[in-house]
Chains A and B, each alone.
Chain A
Amino acid sequence: MAMTERTALTDQSEGMSYLNSLPRRVMTVYLPLAVFVFVLLFPFYWMAITAVKPNAELTDYKNFSPFWVVQPTLDHIKYLLFETSYPGWLWNTMVVAVGATFTSLFTAVLAAYAIERLRFKGSRWVGLGIFLAYLVPPSILFIPLALMVFKLGLYDTKFALILTYPTFLVPFCTWLLMGYFRSIPYELEECALVDGASRIQILVKILLPLSVPGLISAGIFAFTLSWNEFIYALTFIQSSENKTVPVGVLTELVRSDIYEWGSLMAGALIGSLPVVILYSFFVDYYVASMTGAVKE
Chain B
Amino acid sequence: MFRDAWLIAGKDLRIEMRSRVGLNQIVPFAVTVLVLFAFALDTDQEALRTYAPGLFWVTVLLAALLAIGRSFAVDLADGAADRLLLSGIDPISVFGGKAAAIAVQLVVLEVLLGAGVVLLFDVTVHRYGLLVCAGLAAAAGVATAGTLYGALVAGLGVRETLLPLLLLPVVAPVLIGATRAFQDAFGVAGAEGWAWLGLLAGFAAIYGVFGAFSYGALLEEA
The answer on A and B forming one complex is no
Residues of B near any A CB (own CB < 8 A): none
Residues of A near any B CB (own CB < 8 A): none
